Amino acid sequence: MQTQKVINHIVNWLKDYAINAKVNGFIVGVSGGIDSAVVSTLAAKTGLKTLVLEMPIRQKADQVDRAQDHIEFLKSNFPNVEGFTVDLTPVFESFETTVHDYKEGAWSKNLALANTRSRFRMVTLYYYGQLNGLLVTGTGNKVEDFGVGFYTKYGDGGVDISPIADLYKTQVYEIAKELDVLESIQKAVPTDGLWDADKTDEDQMGATYPELEWAMEQQFAGKTEADFEGRQKEVMEIYLKLNKATQHKMNPIPVCEIPQELK
C-alpha cells in the first residue's frame, strides 16, 4: 500500500466532501482504539473544524487514558481540533435500571445493553454534530463493515461518511504508524469497549483481523470452507457464519413495494 498517498487521498476526499456539503467539518467519537485514532487524525489534517468526543460508559481505565491522551495529542498538533469528554454512564445506568427486569442475565439482554451503549454514543455525536454543523464521521474498517458486520446497527454504524471503510484493519495500522499515532494506541488489543467484562474483538468473533481479512479475500475468490482444512477451514466457517448473520446490517432496509394496480 502506498501509505502516504492513501492518507493524502482520504484527507482530500474528506475536505472536498465537507466543502461540497457546506458543513464546517467533522465530529469523531474516540475510544482509545486504532480506528477512531486514525479517522480523527485524518479529519484533523483537513484543516477544517474537527470535534473529538470521548464518551465513556463504565469504561476501563486504560481505554479512558488512551482516548484522553489522543485528544491531547490532536489538540497540541492541530489548532482546528477541539475535544472533550461526555460521560454517558449516568444515562446508560438510568436506562439499565428502567429495563432491569427484562430477561435478567440472559445473553440477549447483555448484547442488547452492549449495543445500547453504542447507540447512546451515536445520539450524542449527532447532537453535537448538529449544534456545530459537523459530519458524523465513521470509524469502521472494511472487514468490520462489509465482511463480518462487527458494528452496532444505528450505533457506530450510524454515520454520515466512512473514510476508512475501504481499508482492512491491517492497513489501518499501517496508516496509524505513518501518522505517528500514539504508541499505546497502536499496541492496544482491539476491543469495542461495549462490555463490563474484558472482551477483545477476537474473543467475540473467534478469529483475528488478519485471519478474517484472509477469509474475506477467499470469499471474493469464490472459495468456501470446503476448500480448506484445519485452522483455515475453521476461520472460513467463522467468517461465513458472521457474514451471513449480519447481512441485515449491510443491505438496504427492505421496502415492501406495493403493486401499481393496488395504489
Closest CA to 118 of 73, 151, 166: 151
At 253, the amino acid letter reads: I
- Give the pLDDT confidence of 29-86 residue by residue, as tens digits: 999 999 999 999 999 999 999 999 999 999 888 888 999 999 999 999 999 999 999 9
pLDDT value at 179 more than 70: yes
Query: Comparing C-alpha atoms, which of 204, 212, 208, 189 is closest to residue 143?
Result: 212
Residue 219 burial (10 A CB sphere; 0-12, 13-18, 19+): middle
pLDDT number for residue 101: 63
Q: CA-to-CA distance for 53 and 51, rounded, in angstroms?
A: 7
CB 189 within 8 A of CB 200: yes
Are 207 and 235 within 8 A, CB to CB?
Answer: yes
- What's the length of the chain? 263
Q: Is residue 136 over pLDDT 90? A: yes
pLDDT in tens, 111-132: 888 999 999 999 999 999 999 9
Residue 105 predicted with pLDDT over 80: no
pLDDT tens figures, 180-234: 999 999 998 888 778 777 788 888 899 999 999 999 999 999 999 999 999 999 9
Place of cell 465513556: 56
Do the beta carbons of residue 136 and residue 159 sit within 8 Å? yes
Mean pLDDT of the chain: 92
